[in-house]
């Protein structure tokens, strides 16, 4: 209740601080417009044409189903990566040996290009939901894992000692001493992982499925429809921005209020 | 049980400790009954903190015995060690929450004690990083005192504070101790702090850490003024055993106070010997 009230109270200031972000986005639009004038409609239609196409896609009802399919796959892979990465990462962080053994494996996972995983996934799962979900999972998992591992490894020994001296029972020790610290590492990792998921899912769909935003992009490419391509890109990026700045960022601010950097 | 009810006490018998091959404590004996304040003084690195950790149960005891009848011990550490994600109020209530005290009750008690240690009501809502070092120390002290402990373990909690803040917190602590029957074991390398607050001063010497002398202060802590503290501290510093422990050069023979010459309340009660030969062999 208190948190909700604080969120509402902080909302105007937060939205006001969005002017800076809006200004930089509008500057990008201006650059786009300028480049469109330079190269012509076939290479790069101007922003208004792309937005008009996007509005058309929403109006005739063809945008939402594709976006929902894509979102479902991205979120499924993201949720799996989030759960597995957080749990395994914290577990690995608790043991020095596990942490040392996990390091190179994670480096390999991060270093392997998602497109390589995609090819393997196509062989293993075929053309269905399995392929994009798996590719998203593999791409996002190591990022979450590393965040959780770092969080668990850097728990303050002095606070752990304090908890021991005050005979703090285990559930409270986890909730009050360890979790807030680990979360401060996990949260940024989750946000990064969400961005990765969103990007990778479109790539996977482009090659592996017949529906979703990726598949729609493949179609518009085949039709040499640059305006539709840009419209789909706008839709995907806009959705990611909305989720990150309207949902995750406020949650992060509330959870990390104790840092008081803002 | 009956013994505990009569007069709880903390007793150490032949306590020793070693990190790998380095012996840091050897043959520690002391006795701390309820209502008394004992100060362990000694130079840095003489094993004081290790001894306190053993008493608090933060290190496994390998050698000797520690018997304690106290039911609710509480610790104050060298650094405030506040949870950065909790407000001052919830930091004070930390120990109560661990004991399972209901939310409203523990917040009421934490609030009350927070005000008594000199925090303003709005400070209690702040996070540790918004508080000054002195305020943080007050919160840490309140976190221990709010549990109404019967044994208070203090690990140089005031060593990082300026003289003014120190004096305030001493007064606060003395006020809290008076007539409460709480036993206190405090660690310090500041002789003046020991003389101001304690009834027994246990002098430790390093390599390996051992208690080499015990002094008793007769006057109750509440009625000690600055003059008393300065005099007794100076007197303490003239004892050969204290000078040796802190690595000070010996005084010319004429100046030293002979042991047992009780010049107004400072009395050498016991002198520890050298460490047993077995431990000497382990030193490196």
Specify the CATH number for the domain of residue B182.
3.40.50.300
Sign of CA dihedral A90, A96, A102, A106: positive
Residues B141 and B175 in one domain: no
Residues B177 and B203 in one domain: yes
Residue A86 contacts by C-beta under 8 Å, 6 or more apart in sequence?
A144, A148, A186
Domains in chain A with CATH codes: 45-259 (1.10.3720.10)
The partner residue sitting opposite A258, judged by closest CB among B79, B85, B97, is B85
**Residue B200 near residue B17 (C-beta atoms within 8 A):** no
Residue A71: the pLDDT is 92
Which residues of chain B make contact with A181, given a CB cutoff of 8 A? 85
Q: Which of A60, A28, A5 has the alpha carbon at shortest distance from A241?
A: A28
Q: Quick check: A177 and B98 CB within 8 A?
A: no
Which residues of chain B make contact with A180, given a CB cutoff of 8 A? 83, 85
Distance from CA of B56 to the nearest CA of A (A): 7
Tell whether B272 lies on the interface with A, counting CB pairs under 8 A.
Answer: no
Residues B49 and B175 in one domain: yes
Residues B244 and B154 in one domain: yes
Q: How far apart are CA A81 and CA A166, in angstroms?
A: 36
Q: Quick check: B130 and A168 CB within 8 A?
A: no
| Average pLDDT score over residue span B50-74 | 88
- For testing the chain B interface, which of A258, A259, A261, A262 should be mutated: the one with the most B CBs within 10 Å? A258
Distance from CA of A140 to the nearest CA of B (A): 28
Residues B101 and B232 in one domain: no
Residue B268: the pLDDT is 66
Which residues of chain A make contact with B95, given a CB cutoff of 8 A? 166
Q: How many CB atoms lie within 10 A of CB A219?
A: 14
Residue B186 φ/ψ, nearest 5 degrees: -120, 145
Terminal-to-terminal C-alpha distance of chain B: 44
Q: Quick check: B75 and A176 CB within 8 A?
A: no
Which residues of chain B make contact with A163, given a CB cutoff of 8 A? 98
Provide the residue-wise pLDDT of chain A in tens; the chain has 262 residues: 677 787 777 778 777 877 888 898 899 999 999 999 998 888 888 888 889 999 998 899 888 899 999 999 999 999 999 999 999 999 888 888 888 888 898 889 889 999 999 999 999 998 888 999 999 999 999 999 999 999 988 888 889 889 988 888 988 988 888 888 998 899 889 999 999 999 999 999 998 888 889 999 999 988 888 889 999 999 999 988 888 888 888 888 877 778 765 4
Most confident of the following: A7-16, B102-111, B166-175, B273-282: B102-111
How confident is the prediction for chain B on average, in pLDDT?
Answer: 82
Give the residue numbers spanning the domain of B275: 2-71+150-280
Residue B25 φ/ψ, nearest 5 degrees: -140, 140
Sign of CA dihedral B229, B231, B234, B236: negative
Q: Quick check: A172 and B98 CB within 8 A?
A: yes
Residues B240 and B159 in one domain: yes
Q: How far apart are CA B186 and CA B10, in angstroms?
A: 13
Q: How far apart are CA B146 and CA A152, in angstroms?
A: 31
Residues B129 and B261 in one domain: no
Q: Quick check: A260 and B129 CB within 8 A?
A: yes
Residues 90-109 of B with CB under 8 A from A: 94-95, 97-99
Residues of chain B with pLDDT > 90: what percent?
A: 17
- In terms of Cβ atoms closer than 10 Å to its own Cβ (0-12, 13-18, 19+), residue A13 is exposed
Q: Quick check: B58 and A165 CB within 8 A?
A: yes
**Residue B209 falls inside a structural domain:** yes
Tell whether B57 lies on the interface with A, counting CB pairs under 8 A.
Answer: yes
User: Number of folded domains in chain B?
Assistant: 2
Query: A173: which DSSP letter?
Result: I
Residue B23: the pLDDT is 85
Residues B47 and B173 in one domain: yes
Tell whether B77 lies on the interface with A, counting CB pairs under 8 A.
Answer: yes
The partner residue sitting opposite A165, judged by closest CB among B56, B84, B127, is B56
Residues 156-185 of B with CB under 8 A from A: none
Query: Which pLDDT band, with edges at 50, 70 and 90, does B281 fall under?
Result: very low
CA dihedral of B205, B209, B215, B221, whole degrees rounded to 10: 110
Sign of CA dihedral B109, B110, B115, B118: positive
Residue of A nearest to B75 (CA): A165
Residues B165 and B197 in one domain: yes
Residue of A nearest to B128 (CA): A258
Tell whether B74 lies on the interface with A, counting CB pairs under 8 A.
Answer: yes
Query: Which pLDDT band, with edges at 50, 70 and 90, does B266 fall under?
Result: low
| Model confidence pLDDT, tens digit, residues B222-238 | 778 888 888 888 888 88
Size of interface A-B (CB pairs under 8 A): 52
The partner residue sitting opposite A161, judged by closest CB among B58, B98, B127, is B58
Strands B210-217 and B266-271: antiparallel
**Residue B76 falls inside a structural domain:** no
Residues B173 and B202 in one domain: yes
Residues B127 and B188 in one domain: no
Residue B262: the pLDDT is 43
| Residue B23, both tokens | 């012996």
Residues B171 and B135 in one domain: no
Residue of A nearest to B130 (CA): A260
- In terms of Cβ atoms closer than 10 Å to its own Cβ (0-12, 13-18, 19+), residue A108 is exposed
Q: Which of B123, B138, B135 has the alpha carbon at shortest distance from B171?
A: B138
């Amino acid at each position: 209740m208190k948190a909700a009230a604080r969120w509402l109270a902080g909302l105007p200031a937060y939205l006001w601080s969005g002017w800076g972000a809006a200004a930089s986005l509008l500057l990008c639009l201006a650059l786009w417009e300028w480049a469109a004038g330079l190269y012509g409609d076939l290479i790069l239609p101007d922003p208004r044409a792309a937005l008009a196409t996007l509005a058309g896609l929403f109006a005739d009802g063809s945008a939402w189903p594709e976006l929902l399919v894509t979102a479902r796959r991205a979120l499924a892979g993201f949720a799996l990566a989030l759960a597995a990465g957080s749990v395994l990462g914290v577990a690995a962080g608790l043991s020095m040996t596990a942490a040392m053994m996990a390091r190179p494996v994670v480096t390999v996972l991060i270093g392997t290009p998602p497109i390589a995983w995609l090819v393997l996934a196509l062989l293993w799962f075929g053309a269905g939901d399995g392929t994009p979900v798996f590719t998203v999972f593999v791409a996002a998992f190591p990022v979450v894992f590393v965040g959780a591992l770092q969080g668990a490894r850097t728990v303050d020994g002095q606070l752990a000692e304090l908890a021991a001296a005050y005979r703090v029972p285990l559930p409270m020790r986890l909730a009050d001493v360890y979790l807030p610290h680990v979360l401060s590492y996990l949260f940024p990792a989750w946000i990064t992982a969400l961005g990765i998921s969103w990007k990778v899912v479109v790539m996977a769909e482009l090659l592996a499925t017949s529906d979703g935003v990726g598949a729609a992009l493949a179609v518009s490419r085949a039709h040499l429809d640059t305006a539709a391509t840009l419209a789909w890109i706008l839709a995907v990026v806009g959705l990611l921005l909305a989720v990150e700045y309207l949902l995750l960022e406020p949650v992060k601010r509330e959870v990390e209020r104790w840092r008081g950097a803002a | 049980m009956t013994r505990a009810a009569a007069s709880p006490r903390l007793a150490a018998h032949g306590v020793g400790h070693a990190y790998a091959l380095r012996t840091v404590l050897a043959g520690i004996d002391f006795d701390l009954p309820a209502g008394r304040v004992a100060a362990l003084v000694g130079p840095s690195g003489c094993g004081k903190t290790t001894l306190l950790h053993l008493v608090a149960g933060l290190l496994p005891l390998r050698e000797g015995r520690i018997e304690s009848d106290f039911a609710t011990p509480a610790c104050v550490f060298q650094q405030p060690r506040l949870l950065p994600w909790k407000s001052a109020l919830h930091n004070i209530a930390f120990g109560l929450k661990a004991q399972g005290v209901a939310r409203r009750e523990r917040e009421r008690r934490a609030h009350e004690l927070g005000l008594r240690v000199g925090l303003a009501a709005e400070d209690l809502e702040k996070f540790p990083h918004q508080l000054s070092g002195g305020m943080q120390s007050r919160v840490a002290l309140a976190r221990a005192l709010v549990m109404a402990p019967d044994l208070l373990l203090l690990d140089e909690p005031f060593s990082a504070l300026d003289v003014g803040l120190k004096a305030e917190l001493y007064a606060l602590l003395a006020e809290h101790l008076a007539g409460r029957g709480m036993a206190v074991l405090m660690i310090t390398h500041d002789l003046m702090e020991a003389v101001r607050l304690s009834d027994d001063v246990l002098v430790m010497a390093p390599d390996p850490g051992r208690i080499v002398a015990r002094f008793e202060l007769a006057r109750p802590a509440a009625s000690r003024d600055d003059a008393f503290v300065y005099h007794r501290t100076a007197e303490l510093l003239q004892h050969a055993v204290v000078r040796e422990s802190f690595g000070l050069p010996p005084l010319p023979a004429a100046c030293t106070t002979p042991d047992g010459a009780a010049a107004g309340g400072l009395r050498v009660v016991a002198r520890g010997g050298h460490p047993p030969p077995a431990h000497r062999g382990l030193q490196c």
